[in-house]
A and B are shown apart, each in its own frame.
Chain A
Amino acid sequence: MSGTSYFSQVDSIEGELATLNLGPTHPATHGIFQNVLKMDGERIVSAEPTIGYIHRAFEKLAERRPYNQITPITDRLNYCSSPINNMGWHMTVEKLAGIEVPKRAQYMRVIIMELSRIADHLVCNAVIGVDTGALTGFTYMFQERERIYDLFEEVCGARLTTNIGRIGGMERDFSPGFHAKLKDFLATFPAKFEEFNNLLERNRIFMDRTVNVGPIAAQRAMEYGFTGPNLRAAGIDYDVRVMAPYSSYEDFDFIVPVGLNGDTYDRFMVRQEEIRQSLRIINQAYNNLPSGDYHADVPDFYLPSKEDVYTKMEALIYHFKVVMGETPIPEGEVYHSVEGGNGELGYYLISDGGRSPYRLHFRRPCFIYYQAYPEMITGSMLSDAILTMSSMNVIAGELDA
């Protein structure tokens, strides 16, 4: 039921509206955001969101860190898919410094990024299931996420906030353990994922709970700056990987799934299909993994190997300069965007030639599309509002930065 026809009756019942404070800590809102709702019984008449409860001043912090120390900050933007944030930042610096990354490193990056996209969408969809009462999918899919964490650990040593990759490529080649685990994952995950899908996709109760809940029209979504699965669920197939391919995405064959009317069911289904497409991309990238270097030959940015550091003078000096952040970087402004788990994650970097950025602005998709939340829930019931919020996949770290 749309909210517009309901609004005309609002004036006469103004005195009887209840004010409900949803948050900032609430079991069903996954993250810290507050919504002050005006309710007529169970129906929401208006909502006013308040955010900033986890504002950590990333943009100011980035002005104080050398370029390679900013990667851990970007980890904590959308922390469910931190490798995508890391790679986006590395590519931004590489764009500014004019570094060309070898093909093997690009394919490795694509594999890691698509694995993290699967992890992010698994969290979101499992949580949509939990909010409708289906806890089983959550428990099974989190077990699968542990396998993705194992893969990340093989590459960089960390599970969640990965700080993966380096400016110029990857920090190490894929170990034999990684190859074995990835092959196992690609062989067994699709079947488990289809089990999860079958629990919810054509489930009568789930569909009743999610169809026509929190819809947004495509034109409105575009005006609100939506990108990513939320926009694709509304029907527009804008995907940064196709529009402005980075890191060899143009080599891979994948479709961009779109929905029909931008409601919760469409968002759920778009993310499900994106997981399948990500698996397709990983298969293509892994089967065609080119041989070669896993990093570019840029001693100004990329640490030389330890054997060289202990024996050669230039390597020692480069090591010192990279670690202390004394790398020469050209002046100028660049903008680079990647397709994050939630949409176009952009980095606007202004460099003045110094050791840390002059200004680094993050174009955070969660922040931009959460503005539309009051409009999406007006006229719906409270439980629908909870479901709309969890289907939008609002990650507090990316919302507040």
Chain B
Amino acid sequence: MSLNNTTVLERIQEKAASLLIASGESADGMLWVSTTREQLLDLLNYLKTEETLQFHFLTTLCAVHYPDKKGAELQIMYQLHNWMANIRMRVKVDLSIEDPTIPSATDLWPTANWMERQEYDFFGVQFQGHPNLVRILNVDDLDVFPMRKEYKLEDGTRTDKDDRFFGRDGNYSQSFIQ
């Protein structure tokens, strides 16, 4: 059967509907589905091994911080790719910032090892079952998770640059387009 967004979604709903919470299509035409963290590994395993779907390649995974969505501040996105049918899809999981734990996908894909370490380093997402969840890019003794929205980009202790100059007081990214 030829795979496109509709047939993939139908197949998942046919065999594993309980694993999905919601689904939709992104602006680039990719199918996205969302699930809970308890069902995440089941869904990923299903997508990877099911004989018609076979999303065998994990392209990337990343976390996004939405401070306004109370209770679902951190969203982890897994992007999968099926090379044979040339179709991609996303799997999303929402986590609360108070309890950012999620099972690790390292057993399914060894490539997830460093990707998850990077998201732990940036956002503080705790991947349970990860073989070595320590900081990877930042200094080891950093005690904050710098990609979260509440942290400034600049190092507050530097003395040679003046924060009053354009765009450096931390409010740069607010939307001016109403």
Contacts and interface: CB of A to CB of B under 8 A. Distances in A.
Given A51-B137, A332-B26, A223 B111 contact: yes
Given A57-B146, A64-B172, A344 B113 contact: no
13 contacts: A57-B146, A59-B147, A64-B153, A223-B111, A330-B27, A354-B173, A358-B64, A361-B60, A363-B59, A368-B114, A368-B115, A371-B114, A400-B137
Given A64-B173, A346-B60, A243 B115 contact: no
B151 to A, nearest CB: 8
B88 A335 contact: yes
Contacts of B115: 368
Interface of A: 51-52, 55, 57, 59-61, 63-64, 95-96, 222-225, 238, 243-244, 326, 328, 330-337, 344, 346, 348, 350, 352-356, 358-359, 361, 363, 367-368, 370-372, 400-401
Contact of B177 (A225, A328, A348): A328
Contacts of B58: 225
Interface residues of B, number: 40
B161 to A, nearest CB: 14
A60 B147 contact: yes
Contact of B26 (A333, A337, A354, A370): A333
B86 A244 contact: yes
A245 to B, nearest CB: 11
Interface string B52-79: 0000111110101100000000000101
B128 interface: no
B114 A367 contact: yes
A371 B114 CA distance: 7
B144 interface: no
A336 B173 CA distance: 23
Nearest to B57: A222
A60 B153 contact: yes
B167 interface: yes
Contact of B136 (A52, A335, A368): A52
